[in-house]
Structure formats: structure tokens, C-alpha cells
Chains A and B, each alone.
Chain A
Amino acid sequence: MNELEAKQVVCDAGRRLLKEGLVARTWGNISARVDGNTFVITPSGRTYEELTTDDIVTVTIEDLAYDSHIKPSSEKGLHAEIYKLRPEVNAVVHTHQMNASTVAAAREDVPTVDKETEALIGSSVRVADYALPGTSKLAKKTAECLTDRNAALMANHGAVCVGPDMDTAFTISTILERMCEQYIQSRYMMMAHDSGPFDTTRMHRYYLAQFGRGA
């Protein structure tokens, strides 16, 4: 893939993530590998709706250098670390999606429950230790969790999904969100001994009775 094609893929993916509700506004970032030395990534703090290929920044994997007046995402180090460790990965999607973020706040690994998901993601989704956003510590710890896995949670932050192409990374993000949603629901139902179909209103009522100040 040449540089311009990769930039177009990143632009399109940004809008698609926004549409699917996996990211809101500027939160999260997306990149695509151009070759062994470089990748292209979304800019820092800009909303996906207005992005054009001119706004996407080319970054060197080895030293994070970029030649543009536009600043790349502050998580460029995380993307570079993944491209270094996983030569077969060509697309990285970092989101702040609701359910994956919730499980990441509980810092729990999520097991994959069926063969299809296991083939796509790996046997579980690990949680990377907490580190401040944009730091090299966060980049290293998160990339390590992607050994033999195509998705990882970032403690108290969000999720990162990778794939041989953007479509696969995108599909993994969507599946991860559903997996985390089901994981939360099943844990609530175990705790509340609730055997009926899941209902958010009932869960909130149970929460208020058990954890509310008046409880």
C-alpha cells in the first residue's frame, strides 16, 4: 500500500468508527502501516468528521519522527511499538469504546468463549498495566499484551485492536465490544442471581439497592 492509499484507509476508518459509536469526537486513534519503516496515523485532538488525507501524518516506526506541521496522535508510540513487535500487523485501531473501557477499569482479562472469536482474537483479551496516556511505559506494556492476541485492554483507558488490514482490525473492535458487554451482563446476573433476560433498568435498580448511599 502506498502512503496516500494508507492515509485514505485511515480517514475512512475514522468516520466508520465514529458512525459505529466505537469512538466519540477525537478520542481514540487509528493507524495503517505503509512499509517496514513507516506508518500513517490520525492527528492529535482533531475530530474524525473533518479529516482529509492531508491531515493524516506519516511517522517513522524506529524514532517516531514526522515531517509535518500537524502533530500526530500522542499515542503514536503505542502504534510504533505494535508495528515493531508484530511485523504481520498492518492496521491498529485504538478506541475508548464503552464496554471494553468498563472492563478495562476493572482490570480483568476477558476469555473468548467460542472458536470463531478465538481464531480472530486469541484465547483471551489481556489487560495492560496502567500508565499515563502518551507515555512509553503505556506503549510497551500494551504492545506486550498483544503477543499471540489481536486485541488488548488498556487499564483505566480503553482498548486496542490490530489486524493484517483495517477491515479486520475494525471487525475485532466490534466483536470485542460485544464480548465485553456480554461479560459485564453475565457477571451482574451471577451476582444478582438474575436468571431472566438481561435488562439495564433492573441492573441499575439492583445497583442502587446494593451500592447506593442509602443502601
Chain B
Amino acid sequence: MNTDNARKYVSEWSPLMYEKGIIKEDIGSISARSDEVMLITPDGCSFKKCKPEDLAVVRIDSGEVIGQVKPAADYRLHAALYRKKKCNAAIHTNLPNITTASRAGNTVYPMLDDMAQIVGTSAKVADYSYYPSDNQIKKILKALHWRSGVLLSGQGALCCGSDIDDAYAVCQVLEKGCKSFIETAFLGGGYTINKIETALMRFVYVMKYSKASSTNK
């Protein structure tokens, strides 16, 4: 995707993600890869009225900001993510159950099959601050290994995917996974799925099922 198309793509998704409650005013960010750069929502962005020219452009290899637009506070985390993982889009979400789980600080283990498949064998909580440090970024990416989502201490979660729609799916499934993790505490505790089965489901999903939407026609 060239930069102009990527600008249009991110700016079209931003209001939709705002409407769905995935991102909130002043918190959260959306980015997409476009070859050597990434497009990211700007600092203090109004997601509702995001236009293509409002987006910030950042070099993936160096994290250098190109142009005048100031990127979202966590842009260095997004750039580091694209350097490390093959994903093409990322969302820093503040959905309510995800945010509570990120505050609680406990690793969320899958209590539902779809979380094991789509998010991974667990959602770990990584230390986070508004402007994440190099050390924090390193640990966040380590916690994302073989997973598609990581909880950011007190500040929601970072979810990634092959495109924005895919990252959005990770947000939705992680939100449901966090909801069941939280609310089963009131039902005498939930049952987590055993580790071998979660790993197996994740493997089958990544290798096969995730491709069915385009191949099973």
C-alpha cells in the first residue's frame, strides 16, 4: 500500500473505531504499515473527524517523524512493533474490560476458545507509561511473542493484525476474553483452557483458519 492509500485507509477506519468504542478521545491510537513508513493517528487527534492529511508519518527503521504532524504519544512502540513483527496494522485500544484487566495487572489466560485462537495462549500485562521508554517497549514486544495482543499496565492493550480489520477483531476477542476473566470471578471462578490445547488452537488458527475468509470461496 502506498503512503497516500495508507493515509486514506487509516483515516477511514479511525471514526469507525471511535464509534465502536475501541478508541477514545485523547487515548488510543491506530497505525498501519506502508512499506518503510507507518501512518499513525496524531497526538490529540479527534478520531471522529480524522482526515488523511491529519495523520503523522514515521519511519519504521529509525522511528523518525517525517513532516510537521506530531504522532500519538506511543508512536515509538508502534514503530518498534513493525520492526519486530510481520503485522501491518495496530490498535491501542481502551475498551472497558481490557482497561480493567490492564489495571488489575494479572495475566489473562484464555477461558474461551476464540481468545486462544485469535489473541494467543495468554494476554500478558507489560509495564507502560504515556511515553513508553526503550526498556518498556522491549518488554511489551517480548510479551507479544507468538500473540496478537498485550495488556499495557493501566492503559488498555495493543492489538495487531494483518490489516486494521484484523487488529479490530483481536480487540473484540480480547475484550470478551477479559470480560469472562473478570466476571467469572463473581461466579465462583472460571475455568481456563489447558495450555497444550490453547497452543494447539492458536497454531491451527494462525496456520489455517485465519486464511479461510479469502480461500474458502
Contact partners of B176 in chain A: CB under 8 A = 96, 98, 101
B217–A27 contact, CB under 8 A?
no
CB-CB under 8 A from A210, the residues of chain B are 185
Interface assignment of A25: CB less than 8 Å from any CB of chain B: yes
Q: How many residues of B contact A (CB 8 A)?
A: 38
Q: Which residues of B contact A212 (CB under 8 A)?
A: 103-106
Q: State the total of A-B contacts with C-beta under 8 angstroms.
A: 114
Q: Contact check, B184 vs A133: say whether CB atoms are below 8 A apart.
A: no
Q: How far is the CA of A129 from the CA of B72 in the complex (A)?
A: 46
Q: Is the CB of B113 within 8 A of A105?
A: no
* Given contact pairs A44-B212, A213-B106, A130 touches B183 in the complex (Cβ within 8 A): no
Quick check: is A70 within 8 A (CB to CB) of the other chain? yes
A26-B213, A188-B186 given; A208·B191 CB < 8 A: no
A 52-97 contacts with B by CB, 8 A: 55, 70-71, 74, 96
**A214 on interface, CB distance cutoff 8 Å:** yes
* Chain B 96-114 interface mask (CB, 8 Å, partner A; 1/0): 1100100111100011111
Assess whether B100 is in contact with A208, with CB atoms less than 8 Å apart. yes
Which residue of chain B lies nearest to A188 when distances are taken between CB atoms in the complex? B186
Q: Which of B84-141 contact A (CB under 8 A)?
A: 96-97, 100, 103-106, 110-114
- B172 part of interface (Cβ distance < 8 Å): yes
Interface residues, chain A, CB within 8 Å of chain B? 24-27, 43-47, 55, 70-71, 74, 96, 98, 101-108, 130, 132-133, 155-158, 184, 187-188, 191-192, 200, 203-204, 207-208, 210-214
Which B residues form the contact surface with A (CB < 8 A)?
96-97, 100, 103-106, 110-114, 169, 172, 176, 179-180, 182-191, 193, 197, 200-201, 209-213, 216-217
